[in-house]
Chains A and B, each alone.
Chain A
Amino acid sequence: MTMSFQGGSVLDRFFTGLAEIVRNRDGAKLQDFLQIEPPLPDVYAQMVDELRQQYPNGSPKEADLLRRCEGLVPKSAGGSAWTAFPTFMKLYFSFLRDVNIENLLETYDMLKALLNQCVIALGDGQFGVVVLPTVLYLSKVLAKLAMGLDRRPELVAHLLRIEGGPDQDESTEKVTLVEKSANVVREAFIKCLTDRSGTPGVHGKPEGKRAGIYLMANLCLKLLFQCGKLRNAEQMFASITAQSPPLKHFPASQRVTYLYYLGRYLLSNNLFFPAQIALQAAYDQCHRQAINQKRLILTYLITCNIILGRFPSMALLQRPESEGLADKFVPVCQLITRGDYIAFREHLTTNSPTTEWFARKGILLPLRNRCEIFVWRSLARKVFIHGGFHADTQGQAQRGPPPFLYLSKLEAAVRWLQSRHSSQSSLSAVSPFGATPNASADKSRFGSQTVSIGKDPDFYSLDGPPAANGSPNISLISKYSDYLCPDGFFDAMGQWQSNPARTLVDGTPNPDYSQYEIDPYAYEPDQDTNGPSPLMREIESILASLLTQGLMRGYLTHRNPRLAIPGARLRGALPTGFPNIWQTIHARESEDTGVPGWVQPPSTMAGSVALGGGGRVVNLSGARPVGVQ
C-alpha cells in the first residue's frame, strides 16, 4: 500500500490517487490500492468511517458516490467511456463499507458481485487491461473463500436447505460455490484470450490482456478440479489451442502450473501418453526447490508411466520430492511384475486401507483397470518360461516347430492361484465383492471364471439355465401371481373387473412360459466334459487382448489351445513373444507427439504449417518430440 495520507480526508486522497493511477494505466498500482482482504491497514478503517458518514448505505447520497467514481474515467472524444469502471469502483466502496466478514456466505456473494463487475470492466478494449491485476487478485480471494467454504459444509448447509427446498426442481443440477466461482473466473479468462489488440493466436505474445490467459486458466482449472467438474474445462483447452500464444512465452510458474493441470485433465480422459508428455514437461520445468509441487506432479507422472509400462527408478524414488511415493507405487509395480492377478486385485480393491490414498488422488481406477492386463502378461510369461516349449535356439537351420505354450498350463496356473488365495482367504481384507472375491470365481457355473461379483438380487432365483420342458406349475404361478392372477384387471371394454378369487385371468399359461424368463446368459454352458473349460475360453480371450494390443506377439490355436511364437529364431522366444511394453506403446503413440491444449511455437521447418493457412489442422509429424529427454 503506497498511498500517502497527509491532509484532507482519506477518501479524497484515495480518489486523487486513483485518478492518477487510471491516467497512467498502472494496473499493478490499482490492484495494490484496491485491498479487500483483512487485515487491512488502518487507513482503510478510516476510509470506511468516512464512507459510512458521507455515503451511508441506502441513502440518496450513494448516487453522489457513483458520480464521483465516474470522474475517475477520462472522457474520450469519441464518447465510448469506460462506464463499467465507475460502477465497479462504486461496488468496491460499498463492499468496504458494508461487508461483514463474520458472515462468510454473504461476504462470498458480495465478493462475487464485485469480481463480476470487475470482469465487465476488463472487457473494455482500450482500458480493460488496467484492471487485469485486480481481476486476478479478486479471483484469488474469491477462490480461497469458496474453497474454504467448500471444506466447511456446515456454513453453507442452510443455503442448501433453502435452495433445495420442496419448491426446488430436483432435476436441476446443484451448482456449488466453487463451481460458481470457476464460472466467473472463466469469464475473465475469455476476456484475456479474446483481446483484440496486438497479434492473436500462435504468432502472438503475452501482451495486453493476453498476459493473463494462463493466470486465469490456472485459477479456473484449480476450481474445476476442486469441484470435480473437469468436463467444463474441455472448452477452455479447445479455446487455448485455437487462440493462445505459445505457452513457452509465459513465465515458468504459469507454464508449470498449466502443464500440471493439463496433464491431469488428459490423464482423467485416458489420454495417458500426451498426459505423460505434459506432466514430464511440468516436472522438468519446475523450480527444483518446489518440493510440494514436484511431489504432486510426480504422483500423476508416475501413474501415467506405470500405465504406459514404465516404472519409476530407484533414483527417482529416492529424491526428496518422492518421499512417501515409493511406499505407494513400489508394491503396485511388484505385483504387476509377479503376475498374481488375484493379489493385484486385492491390493487395489475398493475400501482397502492401501487404496484410500490412490482413490483420494483419483488414480485408483486407472491403475487398477489399465494395469491388470500387464499382470496377465507377466503370468503368461512366467508360465511360458517354466512350462513352455522353447524350441532349439542354437541350431540356426533347424526346421522344428516354433516356441509354443499349451494354454492348459496357464489354466493350471490360474487354478493354482485361485486355490492358493482361497486357502489364504481368512487373511484377506473384506471386500464388497465378498470374502474371497476372486478366488471363488472358479466355482461359478456361468460367466467369468476369473472375476466374481456378488449375485445381483434381481437374478437370485436363477440357479441355472431354464429347464427345457418345464410346464406351468405352482412355483411358476406363485412367482408371477401379480401378473397371472392379479386382484383385478381391465377387460376388453376397458371396464375394471375385480378378481377377488385370484383366478388365472388369461387361463392356464403356455407350457413354455418360461421362455419369458430373464436369462442373462447367451448360451448354455458346455456340458461336454471333453471340451475346453469356460476358464480356458476366458484365458484365450485375455491372451487375444494382449496380442491385439501388441503387448505379446504370436498367435493362438483354438483347437488344442496353444500360444505359438513364430519368428523367434533370431531374437529368442521371450523377447519375441513378450516385447517390451513401454517400447511397444511408445512406438505406437509417438507418431503424434502433439499434446492437445499445449500451444507450441509455429514450426519454422514444417512447411505444412504455413500452407495450412486458416485451417486448424496442423501436421506435427515432422516436429521434434516434445518433452522427450
Chain B
Amino acid sequence: MSNTQSQEKQAEASQQPQQQKATVLEEDDEFEDFPVDDWSENETEQAAGSAANGNNVHLWEESWDDDDAAEDFSKQLKEELKKVEASH
C-alpha cells in the first residue's frame, strides 16, 4: 500500500472513532449499529475491493484438492499402501 493511501485511511479512520476499537481478541458477538445511516456504493467493501485488485478479487479457493505427494501425510499413506500391496 502506498503512503498516501495509508494516510488517507488513517484520516478516515479518525473520523469514525467508534470503529477504531480493534478489540479483536475480546470481540463482542453483537452486531454493532453503524455510525452512519447510509453510504454510497463507492464507499462499500465491493468498491474498495475492485479498486484495489482490478475487478476480479480472488476471495475464495474453489480448487483445494491436495496433489502434493511430497506432503507428509501423503507420503506415509503411500508407504502404507505399498505395504498392503506387497502383502497380497
Contact = CB atoms under 8 A, between A and B. Distances in A.
Interface of A: 147, 222, 226, 251-254, 256-257, 260-261, 283-296, 305, 309-313, 315-316, 323-324, 333, 336-340, 360-361, 378, 381-383, 385-387, 408-409, 412-413, 416, 578, 580, 582-583, 629
A288 B66 contact: no
Interface string B55-88: 0111111111111010001100110110011000
Contact of A409 (B27, B28, B84): B84
Contacts of B37: 251-254
Nearest to A325: B24
A582 B61 CA distance: 9
Nearest to B20: A291
28 contacts: A147-B30, A226-B30, A253-B33, A253-B34, A257-B33, A284-B45, A286-B45, A287-B44, A288-B44, A288-B47, A289-B16, A290-B19, A294-B45, A296-B29, A305-B60, A311-B60, A312-B59, A313-B58, A315-B53, A315-B58, A323-B22, A324-B25, A337-B65, A387-B81, A408-B84, A409-B81, A409-B84, A629-B57
Interface residues of B, number: 49
A295 B27 contact: yes
A312 B65 contact: no
B33 to A, nearest CB: 8
Contacts of B64: 311, 333, 336-337
Contacts of A226: 30
Contacts of B24: 295, 323-324
B38 A252 contact: yes
Given A284-B44, A361-B29, A383 B66 contact: no
B13 to A, nearest CB: 7
A256 B63 CA distance: 29
Interface of B: 12-13, 16, 19, 21-25, 27-34, 36-39, 43-48, 53, 56-67, 69, 73-74, 77-78, 80-81, 84-85
A313 B61 contact: yes
Contacts of A147: 30
Given A289-B19, A292-B19, A360-B29, A383 B45 contact: no
A324 B27 CA distance: 10
A138 to B, nearest CB: 15
Nearest to A309: B62
A288 B43 contact: yes
Nearest to A291: B19
Given A339-B73, A416-B80, A311 B61 contact: yes
Contacts of B67: 385
B62 A310 contact: yes
Max chain B CB contacts within 10 Å: which of A333, A336, A385, A583? A385
A602 B57 CA distance: 29
Contact of A382 (B29, B44, B74): B74
